[in-house]
Amino acid sequence: MSCSEDDIINNGIIDDSGINILDGESSTIIKKSVSIFGQWMFNSYSGGGGGNEYGSGGGGEQICNIHSIIFSEDYTFNLYTDNFILIGDYFIDTLNVLYDTTDISFVDTTFVTSSNDTITTIDTIYEVYIEYEKYVSLYIENEKIGGINKPAVNDTTGTLTGEFQFDDFCIEVEEAYYDSVWNVNRVYVPDSVFEAWLIDRGYDDEHDNYVWKIDVENIVSIGPDPPDKCQEVDCSYEDFYDFDNRFEWRIKNLSGIEAFKNIEYMNLVGNKIDSINLTKNISLKVIYANFNEFKSVNTDKNINLENIAIDNNLPDFSEDIENGLIEPWDTITRINFTKNVNLKHISVPFLGLNELDISNNTKLEGLDAINNNISVIDFSSNLGNMENIKLGTNNLSEIDVTNFPNLKVLHIPENKITSLDVSKNPLLEELALSDNPIDGILDVSFMNKMNELRVFNTNISCIQLSEEQLAKYEAGQYERWALGNTPYSIKCN
């Protein structure tokens, strides 16, 4: 004879507390449920896929270490992988629950006495296992990123098992354990250095990998930038780029920042962050993230962003290079500011970028993208607010700045530019054109504030100066002028 789960509980044989109703003896029921609300910490993992469109990781074969996941009761999830957090929605497919009596197994000895098909006694049921077959689907912005097949929670041991199926992330998670410390009013902060900084600033009071949301949700500005040796003494080139020794301490994982919902300003200079999820920081206006290890940056949700700087990042792409996925000189592989329509300043030098789309950044006032591989830059949609352009050491063959009457700085050395019209830029203070095949006459005589002029290794036939400029230059008063062998005159023919 066999009984269904409903027969056992609903027909009064055993109640939810595990008490045998007929003879009053205590029994233990262990149910494998799918009540997955809460935080789960993973004991083991395997799988690959580091780089993805969500802003985490770099190349396609980099190992991705899922170390925790939080399923909230509002059906949102936080998935923590390596130094990154993924935030989205989850859905539980409940259509395939198996209530077949064959799916109930009795462990140890069970004595059942029946008469005329009526149960009269059940001596002891030690363990009852009820199997559920379900599927949990995880989505980010309505796009499925993976799921958990046959998730099962052992309520007695507090473990989660199932088959994690993520094409771009991790697979085959074997087991996770429930973290009883977490609750909906706390946020997970796995990086001990970041938590130490929060404690030092009075936002937290205990090293336990958690902070109270109420203590951080109204923070407007943070600056966990470590002490920099190169600010104290002059550094050699090698010391400058030896970030691990240059900076006193470095945060690797900024998970938890999603709870800082009112944050407007971040200074992350000098840390060791390779990815960051800013989707919940919609008030963010300024982020400085120089000297980190970013492999990709996603700012699509930060519509209020006005200033972003990601200079001199050195990500660890060793595995990707070894597998031939990228070149040794590549740095950030994904960067897109097309949704940041309020941006005024972009600083992305030394990132190995092949292109930079600023067509939607109509309010842009400053752009620094030196030492990249950019061959085309289109300023045509700009409203004319540009004041500072630095695009030296790229592959540009042309640039149009005629729409920028307020332009003060134009640095475009070491490109392939053959002609340049600066007749509409009377406020120029700095002009660097060296190492370009530019030809013709360069007239700067009407630029009364020109204090830096670098024009050497070009094909310019003559630089036209005002009488005042000529007198000052020949008197050595322009220390930042470097004209090389280029002829100059107050009247170029």
Q: What is the pLDDT of residue 455?
A: 97
Q: Looking at the predicted structure, is the pLDDT value of residue 489 above 90?
A: yes
Q: How confident is the model at residue 334 (pLDDT cuts 50, 70, 90)?
A: low
Q: How confident is the model at residue 135 (pLDDT cuts 50, 70, 90)?
A: confident
| pLDDT tens-place string over residues 246-256 | 999 999 999 99
Exposed (0-12), middle (13-18) or buried (19+): which is 469, by Cβ within 10 Å? Answer: buried
C-alpha closest to that of 358 among 334, 335, 331: 335
Q: How confident is the model at residue 333 (pLDDT cuts 50, 70, 90)?
A: low
Tell me how many domains the chain contains: 1
Quote the pLDDT of residue 429.
98
**Residue 340 pLDDT > 70, yes or no?**
yes
Residue 253 near residue 264 (C-beta atoms within 8 A): no
Q: Does a structural domain hold residue 47?
A: yes
In a domain, 83, yes or no: yes
The domain containing residue 113 runs over which residues?
5-178
**Is 245's pLDDT higher than 80?**
yes
Type of residue at 279: T
198 backbone dihedrals φ, ψ, rounded to 5°: -65, -40
Question: Does the pLDDT at position 318 exceed 60?
Answer: no
Question: Is residue 343 predicted with pLDDT exceeding 90?
Answer: yes
Is 464 contained in some domain? no
Which tens digit of pLDDT belongs to each residue from 143-202?
888 888 888 888 778 888 778 777 665 544 567 788 888 889 999 999 999 999 999 999
Query: Cα–Cα distance between 220 and 102 in angstroms, integer?
Result: 58
| Average pLDDT over every residue of 108-124 | 49
C-beta separation of 277 from 259 below 8 A: no
Residue 100 burial class via C-beta count within 10 angstroms: exposed 0-12, middle 13-18, buried 19 and up? exposed
High-pLDDT (> 70) share of the chain, %:
75
Examine residue 108 and state whether it is found in any structural domain, yes or no. Answer: yes
Average pLDDT over residues 198-222: 96
- Structural domain includes residue 460: no
**Weakest-pLDDT range from 48-52, 60-64, 326-330:** 48-52
What are the φ and ψ backbone dihedral angles of 59, each rounded to 5 degrees?
A: -85, 170
The per-residue pLDDT for 174 is 61
Q: Indicate the average pLDDT of the chain.
A: 81
In a domain, 137, yes or no: yes
Listed ranges 20-34, 48-62, 312-326, 453-467; the one with the highest mean pLDDT: 453-467
Q: Which residue has the higher pLDDT, 425 or 63?
A: 425
The size of the chain, in residues, is 493
- For the whole model, what pTM was predicted? 0.78
Residue 21: inside a domain: yes
Assigned domain for 375 exists: no
pLDDT at 148: 84
